[in-house]
A = this chain, B = another copy of it.
């Protein structure tokens, strides 16, 4: 018996994963970024294979993580979360600079930025789990608080696209608590 309600109680953050392919940049909203080991500093990130950012990371083997500020406006999140970089250049009108790995470091609505080099990829059928070594990290806004996924969902009334690793297939509130076996 799987009660889906239980899965909403796992805690996540709100991040933009960014990467590059040749001279192009792309990025998308992710929730599943987590430290795996403290020494060396390794992180894991799960990303849908359909996302263009997955394609870019697979090509360049590097990615960045913008830890979003609680004050990030929905328009900014929507730009990275609900559009594909195939149709639009998401970095237009976004302040950024090139990091040591070559990925774009996002300066807007970001409290900290991490750069990582992929050391291993795990095929999870619909998603890729990237295992990566942190090679750089820096505070961007020392006064900001990180936005949690709970804050995005409950306070900002944000939604989750179906391709997200943390998506749970609940079509309506009445389905919460529905039991599957």
Contact = CB atoms under 8 A, between A and B. Distances in A.
Interface of A: 1-7, 9-14, 32-39, 41-42, 44, 46, 67, 100, 111-114, 120, 122, 124-127, 129, 131, 134-139, 146, 148-150, 162, 164-169, 177
Contact of A113 (B6, B33, B138, B165): B6
B10 A138 contact: no
Contacts of A3: 112, 137-139
B137 A44 contact: no
A6 B134 CA distance: 11
Nearest to A12: B11
13 contacts: A1-B136, A1-B137, A2-B41, A3-B137, A6-B67, A6-B137, A6-B138, A9-B112, A35-B46, A35-B168, A36-B46, A37-B126, A44-B129
A36 B42 contact: no
Given A134-B7, A138-B3, A32 B34 contact: yes
Nearest to A111: B9
Q: Please state the number of chain copies in the assembly.
A: 2
A131 B124 contact: yes
A126 B39 contact: yes
A25 B3 CA distance: 24
Contacts of A164: 38
A36 B112 contact: no
A32 B35 contact: yes
B127 A129 contact: no
Contacts of A134: 2, 7
